[in-house]
Amino acid sequence: MTQKIYQDCLAEMFSLHRFGIKLGLDVIRHILDNLQSPQDRFSCIHIAGTNGKGSIASGLAAILQSSGFKVGLYTSPHLIKFNERITINNIQVSDREIVESYQAVKMIPKIDREPTFFEFTTAMALYLFARSNVDWAVIETGMGGRLDATNILSPEISIISNISLEHRFYLGNTIAEITAEKGGIIKNHTPVITGVTQKSAVDVLKRIASEKSAPLYRLGEHFKVRRNKNGGFSYSGIDHQWNKMKTRLPGNHQVDNAALVLAACEILQQKNVPVHLDTIRNSLKTYSWPGRLEILPTSPLIVIDGAHNLMAARKLGKFLKQEFSQKKITLVIGILNDKPFESILESLLPYCSRAILTEPDIDRSLPPEKLVPKSKSIISDTEIVPDVASAVKHAINTTPPDGVICIAGSLYVVGEAKQALIDLGMTN
């Protein structure tokens, strides 16, 4: 197989973006029926929510793999290479497997409309997981839940991380409406774990879970965490008390994400899946999730975080304040046009000494000129470097060795920045 065939497949897949986002299950169900229902050939955990899905998914995949299972992980978006979206035992599927799965899905006769990009890639992932005989797959929703292409699954556990206002055009204008969409992944008699805190959201999840006779386990009620001064935490769970726990992922919010992972492990134990405490503890300490509060020990120090919505930006702002209050921080930021850019800038810029505004190579990005007035109202030292790679290089060249560079605003910015850092020999 030539590299050209692989690149041609990717080009054809990405061209599906022109069909936009269409929520519904008819097309994905038709494709999977014609692929002999690959989603029914392994056990799975299904994860929805506004933030934290990838951290939770990768943590559970790491624990299951360390427990001796063959594990598929499906997440989005990718940062540098498409294959990142589909991994088996923490290894990206090969270019050949991408081509073969693409061709298998493409051969399915069309029905009333073309599949969207996400429907197509979801089918590819499920096909590859079944063909590789994975024992478990941990699968993250794309948008919402009820009508998301991944919601053809019959999971062993459903997880809803948290809820904030996002994708209002598709999911609704209130927390309750958005929760109803994300709560659509709850299945009959299937345990659901959540970190949702807002009363309106909790009420919606309680109603859906009751209607489906699905046991509902809530962070703060059925399981809790107590943070320790050394950065670790204690977990008071559904059935267990686990002390001296620690997650490798930085950020206070990652302790809450870890709590959802641990609650899922307790449910797995209830189902007689052999995941043991030592394995859980060691996996939490060692797994990683690139591009989300990723800290590179470079000079100057570089912090990379997607911070692609307001909730994530606020969490990043708190982290910068807690960890680097004595440092001069250069913020390299680009934001997409469907995000509340002024509020995102307000969440980050007060902790920074200067801003470099940039723009990822995607048609949904905001021109950096649009960010200038708000940025300058908070930090006078604001400049534009339109190309992300050039912005990263400029930040490195003009930030003192004892300073900090924070790259944020979009996972697309993060992906281009990581590629630039690879090209500069600063990471691999």
Q: Could you check whether the bond before residue 373 is cis, i.e. omega within 30 degrees of 0?
A: no
pLDDT (tens digit, 0 to 9) for every residue of the chain, 428 residues total?
A: 578 899 999 999 988 876 666 777 999 999 999 999 999 999 999 999 988 999 999 999 999 999 999 999 999 999 999 999 999 999 999 999 999 999 999 999 988 788 999 999 999 999 999 999 999 999 999 877 888 999 999 999 999 998 876 655 556 578 888 899 899 999 999 999 999 999 999 999 999 999 999 999 999 999 999 998 877 999 999 999 999 999 999 888 899 999 999 999 999 999 999 999 999 999 999 998 888 889 999 999 999 999 888 989 999 999 999 999 899 999 999 999 888 999 999 999 999 999 999 999 988 899 999 999 999 999 999 999 999 999 999 999 999 999 999 999 999 999 999 999 999 988 76
Rounded to 10 deg, the angle between the 310-324 and 341-348 helix axes is 10
At 110 the pLDDT is: 84
Q: What pLDDT is attached to residue 425?
A: 87
Query: Is 71 within 8 Å of 135 (Cβ atoms)?
Result: yes
* DSSP calls for 222-290: TBEEEE-TTS-EEEE-SS-EEEEE--SS-STHHHHHHHHHHHHHHHHHHTT----HHHHHHHHHH---T
Looking at residue 186, its pLDDT comes to 97
With residue 106 as reference, give the H or E element that holds it: helix 95-106
Give pTM, 2 decimals. Answer: 0.92
What is the maximal distance between C-alpha atoms in the chain? Answer: 60
Strand 86-88 versus strand 91-92 pairing type: antiparallel
| pLDDT at residue 428, rounded to an integer | 66
Q: Which amino acid type is present at position 339?
A: K
Supply the pLDDT for residue 366: 94
Which residues of the chain does CATH 3.40.1190.10 include?
Answer: 3-286
Q: Which CATH class is domain 294-423?
A: alpha beta
Q: Considering the domain 3-286 in this protein, what is its CATH number?
A: 3.40.1190.10
- Residues of the chain within CATH 3.90.190.20 domain(s) are 294-423
